[in-house]
C-alpha cells in the first residue's frame, strides 16, 4: 500500500499569515508523513504540526532562529518505502541545481527543498527527483500559494501540486 506524504515549506508564521488554511490542515491530518522544508519562523507551528501529524520529517531554514535550530536538523533524512529522502531548505540558484544536488546528495532518491517559494519538479542526471512545494502562505511572484501531496509506492514517486485559494485578507 502506498505512503501518502504532504510537503510544505516557507510557512513564515505569523509574518506571512496568522494560520495555515483549513484545507491544508485537513491534508496534513490525512497524510502518513508530513515533510516541512524550513522557514517556520516560530516554534508554535512546529509544535502544532508535531501534534496533528502522524509523522513529521523536517529541517530548519535561514529565517529560523536558535530555538528552531536547536530542535531541527539542517538536513533531515528518512527512508520511505524504497525511497531515500532528504529534506533541506536551500539549494542555491536554479542554474545547474540538478548537477550540484547530485554531488551534495549522492545517496538520495528524492530531495525536498524550499527557500524560493517557487514550486519545482525536476530530475537530476543521476536520477534524483527534486521537489519544492512552494509556500502555502507567501506566493511571491507565483499566481497561487501552493503545497504538494505526494504518493510513494515502492520506488515510484507521484507528486500532486495543490493550489490554495486566495485569502480574503489580501496577504496571499
User: What confidence tens digit (pLDDT) does each residue in 100-138 have?
Assistant: 999 999 999 999 999 999 999 999 999 999 999 999 999
Q: What pLDDT score does 168 carry?
A: 45
Which pLDDT band, with edges at 50, 70 and 90, does 165 fall under?
A: confident
- Could you say which architecture CATH assigns to the domain 3-164? 4-Layer Sandwich (3.60)
Q: What pLDDT score does 140 carry?
A: 86
Q: At 47, which helix (H) or strand (E)?
A: helix 43-52
Lowest mean pLDDT among 12-21, 22-31, 80-89, 103-112: 12-21
Each domain of the chain, given as residue ranges in start order, spans 3-164
Which pLDDT band, with edges at 50, 70 and 90, does 97 fall under?
A: very high
Residue 145 neighbours by CB under 8 Å, 6+ apart: 134, 135, 136, 137, 138, 139, 163, 164, 167, 172
Residue 65 neighbours by CB under 8 Å, 6+ apart: none
Residue 170 has pLDDT above 70, yes or no: no
Amino acid at each position: 500500500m502506498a505512503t501518502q506524504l504532504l510537503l510544505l515549506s516557507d510557512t513564515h508564521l505569523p509574518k506571512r499569515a496568522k494560520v495555515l488554511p483549513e484545507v491544508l490542515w485537513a491534508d496534513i491530518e490525512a497524510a502518513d508523513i508530513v515533510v516541512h522544508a524550513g522557514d517556520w519562523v516560530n516554534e508554535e507551528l512546529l509544535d502544532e504540526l508535531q501534534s496533528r501529524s502522524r509523522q513529521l520529517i523536517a529541517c530548519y531554514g535561514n529565517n529560523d532562529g536558535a530555538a528552531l535550530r536547536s530542535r531541527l536538523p539542517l538536513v533531515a533524512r528518512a527512508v520511505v518505502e524504497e525511497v531515500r529522502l532528504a529534506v533541506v531548505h536551500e539549494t542555491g540558484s536554479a542554474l545547474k541545481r540538478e548537477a550540484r544536488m547530485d554531488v551534495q546528495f549522492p545517496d538520495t532518491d528524492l530531495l525536498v527543498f524550499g527557500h524560493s517559494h517557487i514550486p519545482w519538479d525536476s530530475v537530476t542526471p543521476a536520477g534524483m527527483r527534486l521537489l519544492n512545494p512552494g509556500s502555502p502562505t507567501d506566493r511571491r511572484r507565483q499566481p497561487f500559494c501552493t503545497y504538494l501531496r505526494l504518493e510513494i509506492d515502492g520506488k515510484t514517486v507521484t507528486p500532486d501540486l495543490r493550489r490554495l485559494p486566495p485569502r480574503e485578507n489580501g496577504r496571499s
